[in-house]
Structure 1
Amino acid sequence: MKNKLFLLCLILLGFQSVFGQNDYNVRSGLKSELAPFYHGVASGDPLSDRVIIWTRITPDSVTQPGEVLSLNWRVASDVDMNNIVASGTTSTSSVRDFTVKVDVTGLAPKTCYYYDFTFDGRNSIVGRTKTAPETAADSVRFAVVSCSDYENGYFNAYASIVERNDIDAVLHLGDYIYEYVAAAGVDGRLAEPANEIVTLSDYRTRYSHYKLDGDLRNVHQQYAFISVWDDHETANNSWMNGAENHTEGTEGTWVARKASGKQAYFEWMPVREQSVDSTRLYRTIKYGDLLNLYMLDTRLEGREEQVGATSAEINNPDRTILGVEQYNWLTNELDNSTAQWNILGQQVMVAPLKAFGAILNTDQWDGYPAERTKLFNHILDSNIQNVVVLTGDIHTSWANDLPHTGYNASTGAGSAGVEYVITSVTSSSTPIGFPSAIISAANPHIKWSDFTKKGYLVLDINSERVQGDYWFCENITNSSTNVSLGNKFYVNSGERFLRNAGSESSRNHSNCVQSPMVTDPTNSLTDVSNSLVWVGAYPNPFEKEITVQYNAPSQGKIKVKVFTQDGKLLQTKDHFTMKGLNYLKINGDDLNAGVYHIQISDSKNNKLVRIVKL
């Protein structure tokens, strides 16, 4: 072994050059009463007889890389967890970042259930979920969200959705996390790790950071999520073989980065992994005879590279945003649908958007017009009824008809369906470049737009119509559940165009009692555990660099020691740490392959983590 020292570098999110000594601006912390399930619980992809339940364990003690940890899970019909209807044992390890997913089967349709996990004698919080109907359903209500940038504001949209308690599930249309270098847009909200996330360990750490947010934890606890990724779960403006925000070589290969982003997504999100392809995201979720929900992947599955608006390639008849396999899957699903409503959940705007005859954004379906025309032709030629598209991505709100040949804006004739574009939860609004009056004049199929407000959509579906209500947050710079109704549009069954609604959809939608939540007055988890806690070490084993995430109970000095496997002390360092979550980055270029231990300690506690250098 080389008798050299590690290069140790403490990465603190609230470093002094940015925020000084203001504790509020440093790091989120852990809720000690949640241990060891600090990231809460979640559920997703509900079917009529099953649902995914999810959690993550933060082990108290040192684990061997790959060591398997066993835990128990339960599902009950009551919030007190007395009437257990399903239970079992599952396992996890560092191989999947100690995340846990169980596909619970044998459940009753259209039923509320409660669930929890137990590890080492301690229970998680109780989650609530709801299965889809099997046949008839009078109505279904979704909250639809997208684009949740932690740094740009508080997740007040999530808090409002929890408070209203009148929906069946949450649809997240992507950009659940953002990959950028940390740069807080709102006081107290700074992402971690501080670098742009590129590796599997980076993506895992960013998900860990997001899921410690109180509002995000609460909305996952109360509702099943049906989710797809957009670009920022990997890199901005991604496509099948690359991304605008990826530099081949200096940021590794796109193949490796895309695989890492996908792996972390499936580890950290309550998404069902498919037997045909465990990394395929597009899928159908059925809500009885009322609706089929087709969740699409317009980013990574088959999209060709974006081109400029004046490029001749833009009109290539073979150009695709879905890829041939996904396009054929979608049209086959539509052809064979027996549901009254066909709802597409996807990422980028389908409706055309032009000004003075010029395409404004080729990252949208405008950049793939031949495939859009082919899809609209298929819908109309096959007489596929009641097509509703849900879209995120552009951080603004739009209500659109989907115009095809001979479209008449006054009557709606010639429309293939309708589209609700949902604003962001927090992400900054994308500049359009033209006032709304010019946009409306140039695009008569656009019935309404809002370019500034943040919030969510409530989508209310029954046999007569689908209505979308746009709800906007009072602000995102402070924690608040205050929202106001922005606008509302509906489409009648058998029609293909939007109408203005006179009032919001009825809130008289029955829902079961909520699970008890851990209170979090600041919604930023600034309060915390009274002891040192290891949260994670990424990656482990490692080749060059490893990042250790831990929670400190207070601001002050800690001591960091590095030992060989046989206990030989290599180095002792004193470091200043901030209250809450901190990151210790270790470069091991000069270290031989082997097993080592890192110990951190304060005046009352010490924690040891075992690491392996490859």
Structure 2
Amino acid sequence: MRAFVLSALSGLALTGGALADLPNGVAAGETTTSSSLLWARSTVAGNVNFEVSTDPTFTNIIATQSRTVTDPLQPVKSGIAGLSSNTKYYYRATDASGAVAAGTFKTARASGTGSFRLGVSGDWRGELAPFVSLRNAASRDLDMWMSLGDTIYGDVASPALPIPQAQTLNDYRIKHDEIYTERFGLNVLRELRASTSTMATIDDHEVTNDFAGGATIGSDPRFTGPTNALINSSTLYNNGVQAFQDYHPMEHRVYSGTGDARFDGRPDLYRTQRHGNTAQVFSLDARSFRDVGLPAVADPTNPAQIAGYVASSFTPGRTMLGNTQLNRVKQDLLASQSSGTIWKFVMVPEPIQNLGVLNASDRFEGYSAERNDLLRFIDQNNIDNVVFISADIHGTLVNNLTYNNGPFQPQIQSGAFEISVGSGAYSAPFGPTVAGLAAQLNLPGALPLNTYLGLPGSQQEAYVQGLINAQIAPLGYDTLGLQGSGIPAQLLSGTWTATNSFGWTEFDIDPSTQALTVTTWGVPWYTEQALLSNPAAIAGLQPQIVQQFVVQAVPAPGVAGMLSVAGLLAIRRRRR
């Protein structure tokens, strides 16, 4: 049946006129138990007609809406309501030229438990399209796809916009159009977005590298405007974020009435979506409201400098999320636990796991007081089965999450863990980047980069793990992996890292046991030069499993009601 559905949708996408008039296809997002927001971009002025059906052949059309295209770079969106929960729908867009593109989505489960399958990646650059590392995601029957930041690189030249920094709204729109446009005969992201409901958030490159939206314009010469105004009110920020919202099936929401000057009148990118009692997804904006990052450690081998950096990261009041958003996710997590939701997936564009002081200023590690406050809240409120999912570092690393009450104080288990995902396509990935940095800094035991690149894959991963563990173990942090953490996890394939490939990660909840299987798919990483030299070879790459592990829900479904109070307390204590 699934093969028939995909075939029907593929056929529809190519009928009625040149698909070039709908070059980015269609997408659906903001999907709830009863509604969804449909998206399309046509290069032809005139009406785009959206139709929604309960079958892939569109014999039972239940809704029709029309939107008008006036600017070929500005997509149109249409909200559909009155849908049934836990139901697959099919939709298509027909533009004024007669071009048709079709897609499908599934509404969320209203209550109870069942299966849930989520796909996540981030960090793909236009010059490395067509993103073959993601090519199997559309066929994985996902309930939801998450684009976890750095969905464009507005500050890097690419074929569609060969300038070093996007400036205007149209510049940024061109960058988004580029990643959903066919290249070398493939359009992987277009197919992926047509296959399921999507969610997205920004990191920095949707605007410019490492920006801090809660800092003043005067602190960063890349932004213009009143020097005491915040970066999240600047023209460059607004152009980047508007284009991001334009090119995703998401509502343009704005904060109001918070009483917080960082937030009121600013874009509201925070989202949460509940899927019955099985799962809830929380998507955070870690860029728009953050304070400026700490100065980097000049000598990462100097214990005094390291100690000073760690102490500074605990400065009270320093924020990455902003107080309004931090309190929002806390209360939503608490409500999720109280409502009986089993798995909580928290999307954070940058890692919350500790990786050492190198480049920590851009991660939660550079905002330790706020990081520990959030993890402490999760622990002390007994919020179970929290999985943080991050991107940005261009590799997959898994670790349990601990917190402490001050610099160099004992670490406390939060019960949560994190996996970083991707990159979809960023050259070079985490492994070669870290290996090269270690050689450059002449860290103890560092290998020349060429020696590292010549190692078998398993030895490359072991070497990278050794480098990271050497940074975090002296600070009292748990080494990479979930072993010995109290989290009931079992590694099935690969290791606890996957840092030498491009790819994405799948989160699959078993409908009966609610166990979570985490699978990272990948292809060998490649450079732009390799792609241009032999596009057919790169286009032929097929994702393979590079890492897989399973985590049991705590407590297991059906067990909580049978446990005594003493038994429940015993489970809580084991994670502390």
TM-score, structure 2 as length reference = 0.71
Deviation at residue 153 of structure 1 after TM alignment: 4.9
Deviation at residue 325 of structure 1 after TM alignment: 0.3
SS, match of residue 193 in structure 2: helix
- Indicate which of 321, 345, 351 corresponds to 1:343: 345
Q: Give the structure 1 partner of residue 137 of structure 2.
A: 161
Equivalent residue runs for 1:57-72 within 5 Å: 57-59=42-44, 69-72=46-49
**Structure 2: gaps (5+ residues):** 1-15, 257-265, 298-307, 406-410, 439-463, 482-495, 532-537, 557-576
Q: Give the structure 1 partner of residue 516 of structure 2.
A: 466
Q: What is the distance in 1 between the residues matched to 2:20 and 2:467?
A: 54
SS, match of residue 546 in structure 2: strand
Q: Calculate the aligned-residue CA RMSD, in Å.
A: 2.8
**Change over 3 Å in CA distance of 1:449–1:245 after alignment to 2:** farther
More strand by percentage: 1
Q: What is the distance in 2 between the residues matched to 1:84 and 1:32?
A: 21
SS, match of residue 271 in structure 1: coil
Counterpart contact for 1:474–1:484, Cα < 8 Å: no
Equivalent residue runs for 1:151-550 within 5 Å: 151-162=127-138, 164-182=139-157, 190-213=159-182, 214-240=187-213, 241=215, 247-249=222-224, 254=231, 255-274=234-253, 279-309=267-297, 310-311=308-309, 313-337=312-336, 338=339, 339-354=341-356, 358-405=357-404, 414-428=413-427, 429-430=429-430, 431-432=433-434, 433-434=437-438, 435-441=464-470, 442=473, 443-447=477-481, 448-462=496-510, 463-476=513-526, 477=531, 478-494=538-554
Aligned amino acid, residue 209 of structure 2: N
More helix by percentage: 2
Counterpart contact for 2:29–2:38, Cα < 8 Å: yes
SS, match of residue 125 in structure 1: strand
Aligned amino acid, residue 386 of structure 1: N
**Change over 3 Å in CA distance of 1:242–1:220 after alignment to 2:** farther
Deviation at residue 489 of structure 1 after TM alignment: 2.4
Aligned amino acid, residue 450 of structure 1: A
SS, match of residue 387 in structure 2: strand
SS, match of residue 446 in structure 1: coil
Larger Rg: 1
Counterpart contact for 2:109–2:275, Cα < 8 Å: yes
Aligned amino acid, residue 344 of structure 2: N
Counterpart contact for 1:41–1:127, Cα < 8 Å: yes
Deviation at residue 101 of structure 1 after TM alignment: 0.9
SS, match of residue 260 in structure 1: helix
Deviation at residue 405 of structure 1 after TM alignment: 4.5
Q: What is the distance in 2 between the residues matched to 1:245 and 1:197?
A: 16
**Change over 3 Å in CA distance of 1:375–1:38 after alignment to 2:** same
Q: What is the distance in 2 between the residues matched to 1:87 and 1:331?
A: 39
**Change over 3 Å in CA distance of 1:305–1:445 after alignment to 2:** same
**Change over 3 Å in CA distance of 1:279–1:492 after alignment to 2:** same
Q: Deviations over 1:476-519 (max 9, x none)?
A: 541135122112223322279xxxxxxxxxxxxxxxxxxxxxxx
**Higher RCO (CA < 8 A, seq sep 6+):** 1
| Residue-pair matches, total | 442
SS, match of residue 423 in structure 1: coil
Counterpart contact for 1:420–1:468, Cα < 8 Å: no
Aligned amino acid, residue 37 of structure 1: L
Aligned amino acid, residue 129 of structure 1: F
Q: Give the structure 1 partner of residue 484 of structure 2.
A: none
Q: Percent identity?
A: 25
Q: What is the distance in 2 between the residues matched to 1:368 and 1:413?
A: 17
Q: Deviations over 1:150-202 (max 9, x none)?
A: 2135301221212x33322211111111113425xxxxxx3425342122121
**Structure 1: gaps (5+ residues):** 1-30, 61-68, 184-189, 407-411, 497-614
**Change over 3 Å in CA distance of 1:51–1:242 after alignment to 2:** farther
Deviation at residue 451 of structure 1 after TM alignment: 2.5
**Change over 3 Å in CA distance of 1:54–1:45 after alignment to 2:** same
**Change over 3 Å in CA distance of 1:415–1:313 after alignment to 2:** closer
Deviation at residue 143 of structure 1 after TM alignment: 1.3
TM-score, structure 1 as length reference = 0.67
